[in-house]
Amino acid sequence: MIVLGDEVRTALAAQQPVVALESTIFSNLGLPSPANAEALEICVSAIREEGAVPALTAVLDGVIWAGVPEELYERVLDCSVKVAARGLAAATSQQFPSGATTVSASVVIADRVGIEVFATGGIGGVHRESQLTGDVSADLDAIARHQVMVVSAGAKAFLDLPRTLEYLETQSVPVVGWQTDDFPAFYTRSSGLEVTHRVDDARAAADFHLARRAFGQGGTLLVVPIPSVAELDRDEIDRAINTSLEEVRDLRLAGPSVTPHVLAAVEKATEGDSVSANLALARNNASVAGQVAAAIAAQ
């Protein structure tokens, strides 16, 4: 049911490092063209530079891929159908022409085929006003249930970050800071909230993952702050987020369309500054994920 790319199959059989990637971030739903193509290219290269094999997940012609072949990347970039964990069964049984996997779908796929490290930009979380809307991303439960180390720059501040951390605590997901004690807020290095644990290098992150695995527990969230040079101004981003949330509220959006609309509105409100920040942190996360995968494989 899940097809492995040739390189991914060989690497997994030889217990060599592999890093899974989601595809919503690289599709029309995540980043505007041509930044999406650039993001995919720099993430793939960053993983390779660490000696790991990238495994892009996506749905193409009803096939769920872990390791989309490069000649099919274009179709992933052009995709505008979002497939979360619950959508995988529909995507394959109903032969979706294409589907961009979210964090939740990718983590399910990775765990199923034995890929232990996954990289993205930012994860979904508990939305603001979730007490009214009930909007909590399926990413959080997927991370809790699957034995994958998820590397991200935290979650965007348009979400309710304190509630997101509470929810992760309830679901017993450790939130581990990479060379930081602070929970990053995607565009900024700190949200002002604390992580539960800290690691300072790939060996320590790999050992953390291996200890979770030894206990038969689920995933771990490894959070990596955006590189200082690429960090955005907190006031600017807060203003952009508030404008964007108003827009989304006026549109009365609900369900999976909420996040792509907020992302696009933030891009517009920051006049593209958010896109270059996104590229820098995605590359950095992919690089850290490659190092951690290599350290796990070296065990």
Write down the least CB distance from residue 210 to ligand PSU, Å. 25
One of 22, 50, 135, 267 touching Mn ion (CB under 5 A): 135
Q: In the stretch 82-121, what mask flags binding to Mn ion with x, by CB under 5 A?
A: ----------------------------------------
Residue count at the site for ligand PSU (CB under 6 A)? 18
Instruction: Please report, as a single letter, which amino acid is at residue 70.
Output: E
CB 22 within 8 A of CB 101: yes
**Which of the listed partners (ligand PSU, Mn ion, none) does 180 bind, with a CB threshold of 5 to 8 Å by partner kind?**
none
Token representation of residue 264 = 């696009």
| 99 to 138: interface string for ligand PSU, x by CB under 6 A | ---xxx----------------xx-x------------xx
The two structure tokens encoding residue 203:
């060996």
Contact 101, 110 (CB under 8 A): no
Spell out the alpha helix ranges (H) of the chain: 6-13, 35-49, 73-77, 88-93, 103-113, 130-133, 138-145, 161-170, 202-214, 234-250, 258-269, 273-297
- What is the signed CA dihedral for 9, 297, 39, 274, rounded to 10 degrees? 140
Rounded to 5 degrees, what are φ and ψ at 100?
A: -95, 120
Instruction: Give yes or no: 74 in active site.
Output: no
Asked if residue 225 binds ligand PSU (CB under 6 A), the reply is no
CA 160, CA 125: separation in Å to the nearest integer?
Answer: 7
For residue 154, the partner it binds in Mn ion, ligand PSU, none, with Cβ less than 5 to 8 A by kind, is: none
Could you say whether residue 139 binds ligand PSU (CB under 6 A)? yes
Task: Single out the catalytic residue among 50, 82, 116, 156.
Answer: 156
Check if 156 is active-site.
yes
In the region spanning residues 1 to 40, those forming contacts with ligand PSU, defined by CB under 6 A, are: 22, 24-25, 30
- From the CB of 174, what's the least distance to ligand PSU, in Å? 19
Please state the closest distance from residue 104 (CB atom) to ligand PSU, in A. Answer: 6
What's the CA gap between 256 and 201, in Å, rounded? 35
Count of residues in contact with Mn ion, rule CB under 5 A: 1
The nearest distance, CB 14 to ligand PSU, in angstroms, is 29
Distance separating alpha carbons of residues 230 and 55, to the nearest angstrom = 26
**b/e for 275-286, b at 16 or more Cβ within 10 A?**
bebbbbbbbbbb
Report if residue 160 touches Mn ion, rule: CB under 5 A: no
Active site residues: 22, 156
Question: What does the binding site for ligand PSU look like in residue numbers (CB under 6 A)?
Answer: 22, 24-25, 30, 102-104, 121-122, 124, 137-139, 156, 186, 256, 259, 263
Question: What does the binding site for Mn ion look like in residue numbers (CB under 5 A)?
Answer: 135
